Structure 1
């Protein structure tokens, strides 16, 4: 009488352990010796330098080095925009870019790269004319996509 219940609960436990939830981490590498790495999503500050891990997707987050002259949304500074999510359809995964669209402007060299998937894929912006950044909203070719599950992102300042 107890054996079927025990077997059933054992199968449930194995199934629960086998299910892995979506997870993404954003880390910072601040080589400038000044400023505060900042990660924001909407009105929420998610990190001021430490690694930030989210269980699930991370939609429409922004990162920049707060040097004292950046607005809350990175205004006046070089900004990284990212969505980290497991792909649910072809082309439906993570996407990250650097933006210099006004009111954003070049402040410090900034780059990003994916890791734990799409390794060695990213972009660097080393001057105000960098071709790897949005300068106008039609510059969609600068977006860097990743179509792998649970990808992470490192944002580097002063490359």
Structure 2
């Protein structure tokens, strides 16, 4: 009985160590001189509303980020959004969306760092060629490096 309990405790501790081993940071730079960067997660969880960065000890799934300029809805409606998923279990990925009800609001871009450095995308105008304007087009940038981070810049 004691041996089974010890094995169970060790297994649980190892599982916690494995989960804590995954970490991701989302960094923001706002060069616009106005607005506030927002970072939302799945199920409407607001992770960050400000400058600087947000770090998670675990995967970050279904992220939506935008510069709140007073005209954006909670999911970035009416604004340019950067969408991302950062996780070690599969490829991390990010894109820029202008799919209605989203629309171009400010120059926005992202880039991975801490792995896949240099991979990213920028949207500098309403006719942004890499952005999704409907569900069938656009560029998804992926990264298979563990613990990858993403930098999001507004008005670069």
Q: Which of the five TM-score ranges fits, normalised by the shorter chain?
A: 0.7 to 0.9
Q: What RMSD, in angstroms, separates the aligned Cα atoms of the two structures?
A: 1.7
The answer for the alignment partner of 1:54 in structure 2 is: 56
Does 2:132 correspond to 1:147?
no
The answer for the alignment partner of 1:79 in structure 2 is: 81
What is the distance in 2 between the residues matched to 1:29 and 1:153?
A: 11
The answer for the alignment partner of 2:116 in structure 1 is: 118
The answer for the alignment partner of 1:35 in structure 2 is: 35
The answer for the alignment partner of 2:92 in structure 1 is: 94
- Give 1:93 shift: 1.1
Number of aligned residues:
140
What is the distance in 2 between the residues matched to 1:106 and 1:84?
A: 24
Structure ID, larger Rg:
1
- Give 1:148 shift: 0.3
What is the distance in 2 between the residues matched to 1:29 and 1:77?
A: 17
TM-score in terms of structure 2 length: 0.85
Q: Once the two structures are superposed, what CA deviation does each residue of 1:68-92 show, in whole Å capped at 9, x if it has no partner?
A: 0001110000000000011x3xxx3
Q: Once the two structures are superposed, what CA deviation does each residue of 1:30-51 show, in whole Å capped at 9, x if it has no partner?
A: 0001000000013111001231
The DSSP-based 3-state class of the residue aligned with 2:21 is: coil
TM-score in terms of structure 1 length: 0.83
Extract unaligned runs of 5+ from structure 2.
1-9
The answer for the alignment partner of 1:68 in structure 2 is: 70
Deviates more, 1:42-51 or 1:122-131: 42-51
